[in-house]
Amino acid sequence: MSKLYFTYSAMNAGKSAILLQAAHNYREQGMNVMLWTSGHYGAAPDAQSGSIESRIGLDADAHLYRADTDLFAAIEAQHKATPLSSIFFDEAQFLTKAQVWELARVGDELNVPVLCYGLRTDFQGELFEGSAALLAIADDLREARTICHCGKKAVMTARLDETGKALTSGDQVSVGKEVYVSLCRYHWKEALGR
């Protein structure tokens, strides 16, 4: 039985770069991998593939998943056609709870490890649905670390408006990575006036 892994962090910790490096290592050893990223935001509604991109310039093609994607069926079909050594998910916070259970089935029934990378909480300090499910059932939890401007470990993400003020309400997701900043809990509370 293979494991379900969840690597989580605040923004700007290098999760996508870590994922791409790990996938490269598998491929360098002649192993087949399958990469997935969220198709929820910014992708054309009918697009089936996209790209995982890191802030340091690494990128790779990936399948897109949406809330209605049957991940177990898609992975099982690919695994039957070309045996897979590992599955990688970027933006795993956007998985549904049901999809996280499907990924657990991939490890349990197909014996293929699934490595998920994503944010733990949103800008209001609330768990994303996918992150909550992964924190609950993943076999292995890992934290990718980044730092606040004060030098302490950043564990929170704030969303800023165009003036640089931290927002305290709004949709859970807003496309535009430039409006997010990673902060320690103290500076996050200070920015939100809590």
Q: What are phi and psi of 54, to 5 degrees?
A: -100, 160
Among residues 28, 53, 91, 190, which one is catalytic?
Answer: 91
Q: Is 91 a catalytic residue?
A: yes
d(Cα 7, Cα 115) in Å, to the nearest integer? 8
In 29-113, alpha helices (H): 71-81, 97-105
Contacts of 1 (CB under 8 A, 6+ apart): 107, 108, 111
**How deeply is 12 buried, as exposed, middle or buried, from its count of CB atoms within 10 A (0-12, 13-18, 19+)?**
middle
3-class SS of residue 38? strand
Task: Catalogue the active-site residues.
Answer: 91
